[in-house]
Amino acid sequence: MPSPDKIPLSFNRDRAVRQLDARLEELLEKLRKNRPSEDPWMVRRAYEIATERHHDQFRSSGEPYLSHLLEVAHILADMRLDATTLTAAILHDAIEDTEYPVSRIEERFGAEVAHLVEGVTKIGRLKMMAPEARQAETVRKMLLAMVTDVRVVLVKLADRLHNMRTLEYLEPDKQQRIARETLDIYAPIALRLGMGVVRGELEDLAFRYLEPEAFFALQKKSAKRAPSTKNFSRKSRPRSRPNSSRPAFPPSSNLA
């Protein structure tokens, strides 16, 4: 098997394109399942435009920038959001990073998508540095006050969540800055919107980079406790009644 540096560039490009296309199909399938009445053409068209606009851009990980846009859309699709929001997610960096006019977005996708993309762009241009808790609260209030559609904030939170999941590829100073900003600004906003799972993951990821020694020590301790916790739960689990038609525990509800 040839080493990665001897594999033709065209092969790597073709493989990346196939992976991105497959990820798009998975996204469209989620949309069909969650929103069967909505036409996915808009999401597919947004993907085509993003492919064209971001074709020569890559992330610090070496992945095509388009992969980030798709993953942001996937996070929102898992929240069962609509095609308009997914379209805005795929286009959310088009204005800032490729100078794609908002007027073109409105012309091709309508005013609603253009409004969402423009809102995310405005949030990205805010000065988020908050060395003091009081200043952080001011920034959070300003951010929420400038947004007229909560979906703008949802796209930005999904964008930040995926960036935090891939933060390892950045320089340490950038990791620290982004992690602090996440902890001070974005995690509290997620909490305010009732997004406890997103808030928890943002805080955990920020903790990893702000206090790495404490994070990995806690992770190690949790891993050691896992087997004993598993055994305890197995021993303490009540036996089901042979003649009962009701389960020992009620089924967990599936919350979107």
- How many angstroms separate the CA atoms of 199 and 186, rounded? 8
φ and ψ of 58, to 5 deg: -130, 155
Cα 216 to chain centroid distance, Å, stands at 23
Helix axis angle, 65-78 to 41-53, nearest 10°: 160
Active-site residue flag, 96? yes
Q: Which two three-digit tokens encode residue 114?
A: 């253009």
Cα 55 to chain centroid distance, Å, stands at 21
Active-site residue flag, 48? no
Pick the catalytic residue: 63, 96, 112, 118? 96
Pick the catalytic residue: 63, 82, 97, 201? 97
Q: How many CA atoms lie within 13 A of 116 on its CB side?
A: 22
So which residues are the catalytic ones?
96-97
